[in-house]
Structure 1
Amino acid sequence: MTNNPAGTLPNAQTPHPAHNFTMRFTSTPRGARLARRLCSERLHAWGIPYGTEAHDTVTLLVAELAANAVRYGRVPGRDFHVRLTAAHAGTVRVEVTDTRGERQPEPIGRHADPDRPDGRGLLLVAALASRWGWNPRPGGAPGKSVWAEYQHGGGNRDGMGASRP
């Protein structure tokens, strides 16, 4: 597992994606819920069925990153973007882009205050993801992209890790 809030890892895209879903959402709690729901449905359609460890973990990663984009990356009138990519090798990548580049993810090494109701989202991402990190938006655009990758086992014909009857 790699914790990389400093962004020193390369922004490694999955080499040959088998599936790709990209959508823009309003920077509201409703937009974050819709992102989670649509990504959950995409995973199921791609052969990572509801209720499996891979499905539930990736859906939780989407939920945390989208919620962070709304809470910490929101600029009024600007949307956030979600890209979900699944590769034949069993890697699913979640990438959430917002327009607030000056609000960067805090280092994971800091312990969250147990009395605070927030501040644990990236701890959860770091615990669940195979790798995660962030980088500035390409082309000098304002904002940042926070990404997480989840590696799950293969086992079916398309390599997505879901068993088929």
Structure 2
Amino acid sequence: MNSRISPHGVDHDSEPRTPRREFEMAFTSSTRGARLARRMVCHRLDAWGHPYRSEANHTVTLIAAELAANAVRHGHVAGRDFHVRLTDAGTTLRIEVTDTRTERVPLLSDLEPPGDAESGRGLLIVAGLATRWAVTPRVNAPGKTVWAELSLT
């Protein structure tokens, strides 16, 4: 796998036979960091052939904005960044946002959608736009990853 470091994070471009591409980067846990994460996702999708005005770009960028905002608002731990990972597997786009706060995990239930009168409506947007989404514990560190996938087929 070819890998290069750029000012925009780590961009992993797979072998030509495999349509899988990855982008990952850490962002400050602030509103500015969330805004930058959204913009980086939008730009990376365009560079990968999902133009700015395409439905896939709009949808994944909106999902990224909601997840990054939640990481800043609900997953913030002083002095720790949140991480964004974007994957293009050819038929699926996947966005993952990881924060370092373990005790604040959104509830997942088919019977009760996420959100209430005060918060969580962003996850309703994610649930409505994504093909699939879930929350997983962070591996080998405190925190969690909220991920969402959009099927392109």
Task: Please classify the TM superposition score into its range, dividing by the shorter chain length.
Answer: 0.7 to 0.9
What are the residue-to-residue correspondences of 1:14-93 with 2, within 5 Å?
A: 18-88=20-90, 90-93=91-94
What are the residue-to-residue correspondences of 1:101-116 with 2, within 5 Å?
A: 101-107=102-108, 109-110=112-113, 112-113=116-117, 116=118
Structure 1 segments of 4+ aligned residues over 3 angstroms from their partners: none
Question: Could you list the per-position Cα deviations for residues 19-63 of structure 1 after superposition, in whole angstroms to 9, with x for gaps in the alignment?
Answer: 110000000000000000011000000000011111100000100
Structure with greater strand share of residues: 2
Identify unmatched segments of 5+ residues in structure 2: 1-17
Whether the 8 Å contact between 1:65 and 1:96 is mirrored in structure 2 is yes
What are the residue-to-residue correspondences of 1:137-156 with 2, within 5 Å?
A: 137-139=138-140, 141-153=141-153
The alignment-based identity, stated in percent, is 60
TM-score of the pair, normalised by structure 1:
0.76
Q: Equivalents in 2 of 1:21, 1:119: separation in Å?
A: 27
Q: Which structure carries more relative contact order (alpha carbon 8 Å, separation 6+)?
A: 1
Whether the 8 Å contact between 2:77 and 2:100 is mirrored in structure 1 is yes
In the superposition, relative to structure 1, how do residues 17 and 100 fare at CA in structure 2: closer, same or farther (>3 Å)? Answer: farther
The offset of 1:119, in angstroms, is 2.6
Whether the 8 Å contact between 1:17 and 1:85 is mirrored in structure 2 is no
Q: Equivalents in 2 of 1:27, 1:95: separation in Å?
A: 15
